[in-house]
Chain A
């Protein structure tokens, strides 16, 4: 018998604000322990929270991007529990009235599109970190992260396979970065995914779900769900029952395991935080965010196809991240909008290959958009051939020189004088009478041999199109 899998994801996206959600302390990553924990973050007696406007704007931005309802009124609540990384003994979160309701994300798996519904997205504060290096039986608490704003994005249980879950998570990951509301750095914990997984027989009601935490890459997300699905099926097929619980994914062992069972079920005693008033989002606030809204991936992809004449695949690759899209558009703009296809080939081809090879992101590229445009301009005006351009690009990668300077210093300028090319062609033909005879005798393939010899003789600088034409003419004589 077959099994059906049901997955819902809860994504915690750290919002890319300058300051914490309720205090004016910095959110920068990687500072020395507790140097970014102010009195409010430390939960000192008597301190009070004040909500960061940047956090609200980012939540609105997200809500608009997924076609959700941005709640006119939302309320912050306290979730009460004791933990050393939770300084106040409660987390300020949104419970009954979240800031974003509904919304949709469209994913594509194996060429098929599927709409995934969102339940909600709510604002909350992050906790600090427990460091378990041994301080003689003690753990160390760093509260720098305490109070960092989080947008928790909860999907409906609409996902049916690990592949769908990964596609959804990636789409969301791309979106929040596009929106500029999250840096998406999974290693630093900026984008954290929890998965609710259950299995059931076709036609039967949904099974009991387990929540998998601690997944910090898409690869691990897929593996963790795959493992968990197998585990649950094994449990049920062995006559057991899946228990509702939280499980941690252990990447090293590639398994999920139950978190140490709590003595009793948690009772978080949510209630409205009396230190904060209802958050009212006015139409004017929404309009202000709308006016400032970046173009979204799907819209950008469509525009790239219509405006630049790109095919679907190229447009998709170039809009995969906002940085790549911005780079590409800067290149096109700098070349005067001429032949956007060549720019696309260069960004997706040479540039992408070199970046991958050197393990760099596009923002770290040694060749910026302006210099890239300088190179492409020389291809377009036939100063150099595409092949020579690759050599020039190599040289640009390791220097600060412009394409023009490299072409000049290395004498790579393309030969386009038809008289000069014809002279060289004739010289080559004279050099190889035997091959000429064979060619005339019907061995058409030798045409390529002559092209190669001409290019060799000109050190690759002859315009290949002209070489082809002139060679054809001369051989026909």
Chain B
């Protein structure tokens, strides 16, 4: 089951850079981790529902009432780059 991991692909999905000289070492560790997962395939889970949450709870609903206030000046103190109330990022090209 454990294919060799495509390091460049998973790095791209995670928005991480892996340089060419790191690829082999990173890939070797990732593949070792994937190797641990092989035993999952051996377990019979026929008819077993996937379990996403430990408790059988259901989603609680919040009343549709505004309680939040304008905090932009405060929270933008910790932002890397802001101007005119906007978060600045390198130009978005579509």
A49-101 residues at the B interface, CB under 8 angstroms: 50-56, 75-76, 80, 82, 84, 89
Which residues of chain B from 77 to 94 have a CB within 8 Å of any chain A CB? 81, 83-94
Q: Is A18 an interface residue (CB 8 A)?
A: yes
Task: Flag whether B48 is at the interface (Cβ < 8 A).
Answer: no
> How far apart sit A141 and B53, CA to CA, in the bound complex (Å)?
34
- Does A117 belong to the interface (CB within 8 Å)? no
- Segment 44-76 of B: residues with Cβ below 8 Å from A: 52-53, 57-68, 70-72, 75-76
Closest Cβ–Cβ distance, residue A317 to chain B (whole Å): 34
A274 touches B58 (CB 8 A): no
Total A-B contacts with CB atoms under 8 angstroms apart: 123
**B90: chain A residues within 8 A (beta carbon):** 137-139
Most A CB within 10 A of own CB, among B81, B88, B93: B88
The reply to whether the CB of B41 lies closer than 8 angstroms to some CB of chain A is no
Give every chain B residue within 8 A of A50 (Cβ-Cβ).
Answer: 60, 62
In the bound complex, do residue A34 and residue B86 qualify as a contact, i.e. CB atoms below 8 Å apart? yes
CA A89 to CA B61, docked complex, whole Å: 24
Given A56-B61, A132-B91, A267-B13, check contact A38 B76 (CB 8 Å).
Answer: no
Interface residues on A, range: 35 or more
Number of interface residues of B (CB under 8 A): 36
**Are B70 and A52 touching (Cβ within 8 A)?**
no
Quick check: A135 and B83 within 8 Å, CB to CB? yes
Interface membership of B15, Cβ < 8 A:
yes
A260 close to B13 (CB less than 8 A)? no
Contacts of B68 in A (CB 8 A): 19, 23-26, 36, 38
Q: Which residues, 17 to 53 on A, are CB-close (under 8 Å) to B?
A: 17-19, 23-26, 32-39, 42, 44, 50-53
Q: Which of B9, B64, B72 meets A18, CB within 8 Å?
A: B64
Q: Is the CB of B12 closer than 8 A to any CB of chain A?
A: yes
Is the CB–CB distance between B64 and A19 below 8 Å?
yes
User: Are A135's CB and B71's CB within 8 A?
Assistant: no
Is A277 located at the chain interface by the 8 A CB criterion?
yes
A171 to B67, CA, bound (A): 35
Instruction: Give the shortest distance, in Å, between A146 (CB) and chain B (any CB).
Output: 11
- The contact string, 1 if C-beta is below 8 Å from chain B, for chain A 414-431, is 000000000000000000
Label chain B's interface by main secondary structure.
Answer: loop
Flag if B84 contacts A137 (CB, 8 Å). Answer: no
A473 at interface (Cβ–Cβ under 8 A)?
Answer: no
Within 8 Å CB of A140, what residues of B? 83-84, 86-88
Q: How far is the CA of A130 from the CA of B86 in the complex (A)?
A: 9
A109 interface residue, CB < 8 Å from B? no
Contact B59 A259 (CB under 8 A): no
A-chain residues with CB within 8 Å of residue B70 when the two chains form the complex: 35-36
Query: Interface code A259-291, partner B: CB below 8 Å = 1, 0 otherwise?
Result: 110011001010010101111100000000000
Contact of A274 among B12, B53, B62, B67 (CB under 8 A): B53
Contact pick for A52, options B9, B52, B64, B75, CB 8 Å:
B64
Contact B59 A279 (CB under 8 A): yes
CB distance from A264 to the nearest CB of B (A): 7
Contact with B along A218-251 (1 / 0, CB 8 A): 0000000000000000000000000000001000
Contacts of B58 in A (CB 8 A): 277-280
Known: A37-B72, A53-B61, A56-B61. A32 touches B91 (CB 8 A): no
Chain A residues with CB under 8 Å of B63's CB are 53-54
A51-B59, A137-B90 known; A35-B65 Cβ under 8 A: no
- A-B CB proximity, top 9 nearest: A140-B86, A54-B64, A53-B61, A38-B68, A25-B68, A141-B87, A34-B72, A33-B85, A138-B88
